[in-house]
């Protein structure tokens, strides 16, 4: 069996055919329409989502009602509210598709069950979480040291294709500023 998810996992741990089947059996593929929600504020997050195709985001609602994007996930990335997932407490985020997407729903209960039968999956998720946390430490660094304009240039350099794939107001909210200011920055650049 070769799926994007299995391929991703096998970059970090070994699985035999039988284990692959057990692992996949507990998941399900879901087609998600543009702007459809996988989680809403107040709900308890029940699954980790692996993006096979398309793009998801996690956002929250600011004081004045604006949607503030916290993270994006594209092909071969995971996305979830990991605090809500771990403690099974109500989430303060929304998870929504940015474009029509194909997602693997990986229930947390399944992850917990696998931890006994296929212990190396814990290793996979440990590495995943450590990568994510490491990236988050770097993001904190950038948030503290770069100006808003530099944030945009930096993001543009790192993900040149992605910049044109999402609405500008989402990109602006992800970078931590207003759509108007992004417009101003873009005007400057020839």
- Nearest-approach distance from CB 1 to its own copies, in angstroms: 24
Separation CA 52–CA 154 (nearest Å): 26
Residue 53: DSSP 8-state: E
**Which among DNA, its own copies, none contacts residue 167 (Cβ within 5 to 8 A by kind)?**
DNA
Which is nearest to 16 in space by CA: 140, 161, 120?
120
* List 18, 116, 157, 187, residue binding DNA (CB under 7 A): 187
**1 scored as a contact of its own copies (CB under 8 A):** no
Q: Which is nearer to DNA, 121 or 173 (CB)?
A: 173
**130 scored as a contact of its own copies (CB under 8 A):** yes
* Helical segments of 3-147, H only: 4-10, 17-25, 82-87, 108-117, 120-145
**33 scored as a contact of DNA (CB under 7 A):** no
Separation CA 170–CA 41 (nearest Å): 18
Count of all residues that appear for the chain in the document: 190
- Nearest-approach distance from CB 85 to its own copies, in angstroms: 8
* List 24, 160, 180, 190, residue binding DNA (CB under 7 A): 180
Q: Which is nearer to its own copies, 7 or 130 (CB)?
A: 130
**179 scored as a contact of DNA (CB under 7 A):** yes
Residue 34: DSSP 8-state: T
């Amino acid at each position: 069996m070769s799926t994007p998810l299995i391929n991703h996992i096998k970059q970090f741990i070994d699985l035999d055919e039988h284990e692959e089947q057990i692992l996949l059996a507990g998941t399900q593929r879901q087609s998600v329409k543009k702007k459809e929600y996988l989680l809403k504020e107040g709900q308890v997050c029940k699954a980790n989502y692996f993006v096979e195709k398309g793009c998801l985001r996690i956002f929250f609602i600011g004081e004045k009602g604006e949607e503030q994007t916290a993270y994006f996930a594209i092909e071969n990335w995971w996305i979830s509210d990991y605090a809500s997932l771990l403690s099974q407490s109500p989430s303060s985020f929304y998870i929504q598709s940015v474009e029509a997407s194909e997602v693997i729903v990986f229930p947390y209960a399944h992850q917990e069950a696998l931890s006994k039968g296929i212990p190396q999956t814990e290793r996979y998720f440990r590495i995943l979480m450590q990568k994510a946390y490491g990236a988050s430490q770097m993001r904190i660094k950038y948030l503290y040291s770069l100006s808003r304009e530099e944030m945009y240039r930096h993001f543009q350099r790192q993900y040149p294709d992605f910049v044109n794939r999402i609405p500008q107001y989402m990109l602006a909210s992800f970078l931590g500023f207003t759509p108007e200011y992004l417009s101003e920055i873009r005007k400057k650049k020839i």
